[in-house]
Each structure stands twice: as structure tokens, then as C-alpha cells.
Amino acid sequence: MGLLGSGFAEMGRKFRRVLLRRKIRAAAATHALRLRALGKRAAESGETGPAGADLLAALAETQAKDESLSSQRAALDEKIRVTEAQRDADAARFKQLDEGVFARKSPLDAELAAQQKTAARIQRERDDNRRTQEKLQQERRSMEEALRKPASAESGAISERTKAEARIAAIAAEQPQLEAQQARLAQAAALAAKEIARLEAAIEPLQAELDRIATERNEATSRVNRALADLRKESARVRAEAGDVSRRRDQNHEALGTAIFAAGAAAPGALASEMEAAAASAAAQAAVQSRYDSSLAESRGMPKGTMLKFGALMLAATAAFGAGGYAAMQAMKSATPPAALEDDCRNPSSKRKPLKADAGGPYTVVRGEVARLDGSKSKGSCLRYAWTFAASPSDPSEKRRPATGGSEDDAVFAYAEQLACPQGQAGNQGARKEGATAPTVFLCSLKVTLTVRDGQASDSEDVIVKVKPRGPKGWQTHIEEKQPETFLSGSRLVRGQIELGKNVCALDATDMPTHWLHAGKPWKGEGYAVATVTDPKGPFDKWSYVGSSNLRIQRAARLNADLAPGSELAQANAKNKDFDTLHKSVLEHERLHGVLVFEAMAEIQKQGNDPAKIIEALSTPGGEAPLVDRADLAIGTVEARLRTQNHDKIKERLATTPQFNREGTILVRDGAGGYEPFSVSNMANAGDD
């Protein structure tokens, strides 16, 4: 055959033996499966013969253990299901308790705020009255001092003296009126203080109840979470043990099948098909092994030194080809212009292109979106690119939310905005991207450094990636100014139980006006959504941020059902114009509650304190819990401001309408199936019930 033929034939045999070894492993695995099936079938039928008697006890043990573990696993799964159901039931129960307490506390909070404003107004009036009295007393003393001086006989001096005496008399007459007014104001202040004390005393146990509910909720949640963690840990342990038992059972089945197959006795009818399959897999394994052994025998039968000579011949041929290729390359280089040598990465730095990093830019990106960092305009040969990230220097052009007077609200907003790209924010420590271009997600403005290397030198350039806030579309609390008229289901106007109406959230199914900003705490979900950045090796990878805002105010005037046109009571008052006037007055009164909230929200937005705008910039690397806490705190602060209602403004606006600002009489239910007259002293104030 010749040296070359023998050498290439041996290389072919070695390659085939590699394939045969794979087939041998596959055939062995198949044979093991057949033996396992044979052993399993024998154990199930009980026809193991003397060869498998010893293994039946081990199989019975694993079977009993597997059944025990399956029972434990099912019991643990049921406990986990029951515990999770308990957790959900506790959450619903505590939410219901919260809503119940808030339903009782919210009107008291609103009334307290109104009383506090009334007390402040009274105090201002008392201060004004006191200053007026002091001013008049000072004026009186000055005039009396002037009158004590010798009088002049001139007519002008006499006239001035007469005026001074008249003014002193007027001041003396006005003084009792001011003192009486001061007394009335003092009495009103005392009544307001008493009312404030009463409301604070009424609110205190409700707040304590809310605190107690929160403590119980936290304890229950912690207790259930610990129980779930223990159950899941135990379930994982049982499943791992069940896996070990399953593997031991398979090994025992395989050992039993091997023993039965090795015994070689005639298989009973129940095992015939499994024995045939095992025999076929054994024959296939033996056939592949035979082919492998035959190839190995052919290789061993070659004359000694054949492959060494073949290898030497191949090396000589390779050297010859290499020499020819080198000569060709040298010829090509001699024909290549010298300038092209700069592109060869093996050239010394003196022959390469000058190295210069170009980070591209300027870059401006909307928060949460991708900036495509582009360093492809960098100059040099055989470049490697690395992008690193650091805190951006302060930018005087960036507008921060203005303070509104050092109030407690400003402190709350400032606390929330500690997560709103504070000065020095650098993102994930050690973040680094590579490549000429690097698409990167940004939540805050950062300084980005591009470093290029050519293996012998490096150069860097900094660039600022400026992040713009999203919006204003989608990041401003939406105010729906239309307030539909609806009616309180089942409500009736009965003497002693008269509730004319209330202003409620039009988006809620219940009649409890527990919030102004839908849908109340926690606002995550219906108020805003949290998103997570996925940007491997990026500066904000795995950070949580507010992905979208749906904060909105949408109110409805919900009146007593007896005020509805066509109701029984409306028919009883069909010829009474006062009934229609009362209906219109109550509707306008309840809508004015919403109007005052709309106006307050507009003022808050004008001050730069729109909660949607504040939460837009919040982000955190430590999971979403701190983010949700700060966002709800900022939104809750605005919610508290909206709860402060001034009923005097509603009365003042309704009083400007003559048809409302008068007395009226309507028929109401007497509680015994009939009707009786009911007088309303001023229908402009009827909405206050």
C-alpha cells in the first residue's frame, strides 16, 4: 500500500474508533435501560427467581420509603396552600379593617382641619382687634396731650381743638364696641379650642387603632412568611430525598435485571419481551465492541515505526509548504506600499496609526431608555474598547423642585427625592461595558469614560450622558373635572336620619370617600407601576424605578336616592319648588367639594409638587420596597393636603346664588310610612346636613 496509504488508513481507523467509542457508550446506556426495565417488570410480577430474591427486600424498602415521601410531600404542599390562603385572608382582613377605620377617621380629619383653620382665622381677627384698640388708645393719648397745652385764640387753632375733642369722643364711643367684639372672639376661640380638643380626642383612639392594625399586620405577615419559608425548606428537603430514593430504586431494578439476565434461565411469559429486549441490546453492544476490537487489532498489526515515518514525512511536507508560503508573503510585502504597514497589529507602536479615543456624543436620553454609546470614531490600530461609569458633575441648568417655604411637606418631598438621582449617584460599582458601541440603559445622568488600547498604549476620553425626565405627558396627575350625579343606593330622607349626599371617588365601587388621589395607599398598582432594568454589566442593571404613572382624581356627586327625580319622595313634593331647589343646592354643594380639590391640586402642581412628577425620578438598586415606601410617602403628603377642606368657601359660593340663599320647606319621611314637613333654614348650607 505504501507509507502514505498506510498512514492515512491508520488515521481513518483512529477517527472511526472515536465514533465507535461514542456508540459503545450509547449501547451500554441502552442496555442498562433494558436491564432496568427487566428488573422492574420482574419485581412487579414477583417472578425474580433465586437470582433476585436478595434484591426484593431492598426494592420493597425503597418502595415504602418513596410512598412515605410522596405522602409527606402531598401534606407539605397542602400546608403551603393553606398557609398562603391564610396569608391572603389576613391581607384582605387587615385591608378591610384599615378601610373601616379610615372611613370613620377621614371625616374627623377634615373637620379638625376646618376647625384649626377657623381657630387661626379667629386668632387673626383677635390680633387685628387688639392692634386697632392699641392704635386708637395711642391716638387718644396724643390728642389729649395736645389739648392739655394752652389754647390759642386764633380761629384755626380753635377749629383743630374742636376736631380733636370730637375725635376723642368718637374713640371713646368706639372702644366699647371693640371690647365687645374682642369678647365675642375670645368666646369663639374658646369654643373652637374645645371643638379641636374634642376632635383630637376622637381621632386619637382611631389613630391608635390604625397603629395597632399595622402592628398586627406586620406580625401576622412575618409569622406567615416564616412558616412558609420553613414549609418550603422542608418540601425541598423531602423532594431531594425522594430523588435519592428514586435513583436507588433504579439501581436496584438494574441490578435485579442484570442478575436475572446473567442467570440465563428460560424467562417466564411475563418477562419474555423484556428478556428479548435485553438480549437484543446486549447483542448490539457486543457488535459495536467487536468492530472496535477489530479496528484496534488492525492498528496493532501494522509494522512498527510506520506512523513515526508517516509523521516525519508529513512534517517535511508541511515545512516545504510553509517555506513556499513565507516566500509568497515576503513577495507581497515587498509590493505593498509602506503606509499599509500601520494596519498590521504586529508592528511596533512607531509604525502604527496615532492612538486617539473618541467617546462620541453629546448624549441625551430619556430616563429608562437606551443610549447607544459610540466610540467607533476612535483612531488607532487593533483597538480594544472599555466603557466605565462615574457620577456626573453637578449641572446648574438642571431644574430641581423649588421649596415652598420650608414646610413639613418640603421635608417629606426632600426625603423622597433622596432616591431621585442625588448628587454623586454613580450607578452600580464596577459597571463596565466593552466594544466600539455599547447600548446602555440610563436612569440618571452619568460621566462615561471610554478607554481604548492597542496592546502597547492607551487613551481615554470622558463624555456626559444627560438624562431627561419623562413627560410631561403621562407624568402629571390627571384631573377629570366632570363630576357625574349618582345616588346612594337604598338611602332615604327620614327625620333624624338625613344624609343629603357626599362627594366620592368616581372610580371606586363603594361609597366610602377614603381618598382623593385614586386608589389610595398603597398607590402601587393603580397609581403607578414599578419596572426593573435589565442591562447586563450596565450601571443600572437590576435597578427598580417608577415605570409609569396613572395618578388621577375623578370625583362624583352621590346624592340621597330620595332626591332622585321620579322617586316616591320627589312625587310627594311634586308641587313644591323648594324640593327641586334643595336637590340643585345639594348637587352643587357636593360638586364644590370636588372643585376645591381640583383647585388645590392645580395650586400644588403650580408649586412644582405634583406627586406624579416627584416619583418620576425615583430609582433604587436595593429592590422595590424602598422605592414604593418613598413614592407612597410623597403621594400621601399631597393626599393629606387635599383632605383639608374649607366648608366656609362652599357656603360663600352657594350664598351668591339667590335661589339657594333662602329658607325652604320640604316633605320628608316620618318613619311610619307617611310624610311630614321639614324646614331648611338656609338651602345654601343644606349640603352640610
Dump pLDDT digits (tens) for 369-411. Answer: 999 999 999 998 889 999 999 988 876 555 555 555 445 566 6
Q: What is the pLDDT of residue 352?
A: 66
Cα first-last separation, the chain: 117
The secondary element (H helix, E strand) that includes residue 447 is strand 446-453
Mean predicted confidence (pLDDT) in 568-592:
89
Question: Coil, helix or strand for 501?
Answer: strand
User: Which residue type does 509 have?
Assistant: A
CA angle 46/50/56 to nearest 5° reads: 50
Pick 588 or 622 by higher pLDDT: 588
As a whole number of angstroms, the distance between CA 183 and CA 164 comes to: 29
Number of residues written out for the chain: 689
Q: What is the pLDDT of residue 388?
A: 94
Closest listed residue to residue 228, CA positions, set 82, 74, 68? 82
State how far Cα 134 lies from the chain centre: 59
Contact indicator for 596, 395 with CB cutoff of 8 Å: no
| All three cell numbers of 366 | 430619556
- Strand 437-441 to 370-374 pairing: antiparallel
As a whole number of angstroms, the distance between CA 470 and CA 55 comes to: 71
User: Which residue type does 481 have?
Assistant: E
Residue owning grid cell 448490539 = 284
Tell me: pLDDT of 107 over 70.
Answer: yes
Dump pLDDT digits (tens) for 198-248. Answer: 998 998 998 888 888 888 888 888 888 889 889 988 988 988 888 888 888
Dump pLDDT digits (tens) for 495-550. Answer: 777 788 888 888 876 655 467 787 777 788 888 999 999 999 999 999 999 999 98
Q: Please give the mean pLDDT across all residues of the chain.
A: 83
Closest listed residue to residue 462, CA positions, set 441, 447, 440, 445? 447
Pick 351 or 427 by higher pLDDT: 427
351-365, 412-426, 526-540: least confident range: 412-426
Q: What is the pLDDT of residue 351?
A: 61
Q: What is the pLDDT of residue 49?
A: 65
Contact indicator for 483, 427 with CB cutoff of 8 Å: no
| pLDDT band, residue 81 (cuts 50/70/90) | very high
The secondary element (H helix, E strand) that includes residue 8 is helix 3-45
Q: What is the pLDDT of residue 337?
A: 45
Q: Is the backbone peptide bond immediately before 50 cis, with ω within 30 degrees of 0?
A: no
Mean predicted confidence (pLDDT) in 93-110:
87
Tell me: pLDDT of 339 over 50.
Answer: no
**Paired residues of 552 in beta bridges:** 478, 518
As a whole number of angstroms, the distance between CA 36 and CA 260 comes to: 11
| All three cell numbers of 20 | 465507535
Dump pLDDT digits (tens) for 427-456. Answer: 888 899 999 999 999 999 999 999 999 888
Exposure string over 303-342, b if 16+ CB within 10 A, otherwise e: eeeebeebeeeeeeeeeeeeeeeeeeeeeeeeeeeeeeee
Question: Coil, helix or strand for 202?
Answer: helix
185 Cβ partners below 8 Å, 6+ apart?
Answer: 122, 125, 126, 129
Tell me: pLDDT of 78 over 90.
Answer: yes
As a whole number of angstroms, the distance between CA 157 and CA 243 comes to: 119
DSSP string, 586-603: HHHHHHHHHHHHHHHHHH
Q: What is the pLDDT of residue 338?
A: 42
The CB-side HSE value for 537 (13 A sphere, CA atoms) comes to 9
As a whole number of angstroms, the distance between CA 187 and CA 181 comes to: 10
pTM of this structure: 0.49
| All three cell numbers of 346 | 504586529
Dump pLDDT digits (tens) for 468-504. Answer: 999 888 888 898 888 898 888 777 888 777 788 888 8
The secondary element (H helix, E strand) that includes residue 276 is helix 272-300
DSSP state of 367: T
**Paired residues of 387 in beta bridges:** 433, 450
Q: What is the pLDDT of residue 448?
A: 93
| pLDDT band, residue 336 (cuts 50/70/90) | very low
42-46, 140-144, 249-253, 646-650: least confident range: 646-650
Contact indicator for 253, 43 with CB cutoff of 8 Å: yes
Question: Coil, helix or strand for 82?
Answer: helix
Q: What is the pLDDT of residue 347?
A: 58
Pick 272 or 555 by higher pLDDT: 555
Tell me: pLDDT of 1 over 80.
Answer: no
DSSP state of 535: -
The secondary element (H helix, E strand) that includes residue 463 is strand 458-468
The fraction of the chain above a pLDDT of 90, given in percent, is: 18
As a whole number of angstroms, the distance between CA 300 and CA 245 comes to: 46
As a whole number of angstroms, the distance between CA 27 and CA 17 comes to: 15
As a whole number of angstroms, the distance between CA 615 and CA 420 comes to: 8
Dump pLDDT digits (tens) for 603-658. Answer: 888 888 888 888 888 888 877 888 888 888 888 888 887 777 666 787 778 778 87
| All three cell numbers of 174 | 368706639
